[in-house]
Amino acid sequence: MSDIRFDDRVAIVTGAGGGIGRCHALELARRGAKVVINDLGGSMDGTGGNSAAAEAVVKEIEAMGGEAFANGSSVADEAGVQKMINDTMEKWGRIDIIVANAGILRDKSFGKMTVQDIDLVLAVHLRGTFLPVHAAWNIMRDQNYGRIVVTTSSTGLYGNFGQANYGAAKLGVVGMMNTLKIEGAKNNIRINAVCPIAATRMTEGLMSEEALAQLKPEYVTPGVMNLVKDDAPTGMILSAGAGAFSMARIVETEGVFVGHGDALTAEAVAAKWDQITDVSTTKPAFKSGGEHGQNIFMAVAEAMKA
């Protein structure tokens, strides 16, 4: 198997001043990419900011003979993100890879969560994924090449106490991915999601020391390299942690036609609940919303034949 290389590729990694983002950026550089190290340098809850962390990663890359520059824009700030894109194009003339990794936490039980807690987390995770991808989209389209990774979470896919804001944002980026995989296909733009399990500043105090020792952030990065390589998949959710990898999918049962008109009542749905929820009939993952609709219409068509 040939080595995975990114020579002559230009990558932007957000939240790359530490943790998982730093590991992604360093590995891309080791494999030949020129890398923009984006990091606001704020605290875990998104407050404050300085460029020291991003500059330190740039020095690490330069020490290994690579090329990089630091950008301190907030990913939630439209003007700042556009400046990052403009500076990248001015310096290197193209953008091939975006790894949207920046994140913050504002964990609270839902009853205690403020609107500000919701807005800030959505701004960084969801808007902060949308803005850099959107700003670079036409560049990737015109060059007929783009590789994008969004960062989801088990909280978004499955839930976690005290993280309603974070979970909403993290499933939101999957929804964005599912549309962009379709829109980008004709221009060789491929987009995937990584669901990392790693010991970072954001997980301190949530796990035992023993568990944290196995969850090194660099153990996620090899999976991400496979999501941004030339022959990457598209529309995939890759779970990664402690050296193990799996694929997450949104699936649906075959379903059943209940009725039309007066025959379609809540009680009629209840009577067929076991068939509706029969996981033994789970279908392969749909590739688009249209396929989801077709599944429903097929159930209706089958019933009409009877």
* Burial class of 212 by CB neighbour count within 10 A (0 to 12, 13 to 18, 19+): middle
Residues 159-168 have pLDDT tens digits of: 999 999 999 9
Give the H or E element holding residue 71.
strand 68-71
- Is 90 exceeded by the pLDDT of residue 204? no
pLDDT band at 213 (very low <50, low <70, confident <90, very high): confident
Rounded to an integer, the average pLDDT of 114-125 is 98
**pLDDT at position 273 over 60:** yes
Q: Is the pLDDT of residue 229 over 80?
A: yes
Residue 217 in this model has a pLDDT that exceeds 80: yes
**Coil, strand or helix: which one is 115?**
helix
Residue spans of the domains in the chain: they are 10-248, 261-305
How high is the mean pLDDT of the chain? Answer: 93
Is it the case that residue 110 has pLDDT exceeding 80?
Answer: yes
**Which residues, at least 6 apart from 273, have a Cβ–Cβ distance to it below 8 Å?**
none
- Residue 205's CB: how many other CB atoms inside 10 A? 6
For residue 257, give both structure tokens: 């036609």
- Give the mean pLDDT of 275-296: 93
Please identify which of the residues 145, 158, 166, 219 carries the catalytic annotation. Answer: 166
Quick: pLDDT tens for 120-161.
999 999 999 999 999 999 999 999 999 999 999 999 999 999
For residue 201, what pLDDT is reported? 56
User: What's the pLDDT at 297?
Assistant: 83
Tracing tokens 């990089």 back to the chain, one arrives at 68
For the chain, what percent of residues have pLDDT higher than 70?
A: 93
Is 219 a known active-site residue?
Answer: no
Question: In this structure, how many other beta carbons lie within 10 angstroms of the beta carbon of residue 86?
Answer: 11
pLDDT of residue 299: 84
As a whole number, mean pLDDT of residues 3-12 equals 98
State the pLDDT at residue 48: 46
- Fold of the domain built from segment(s) 10-248: Rossmann fold (3.40.50)
d(CA 39, CA 53) in angstroms, rounded, equals 7
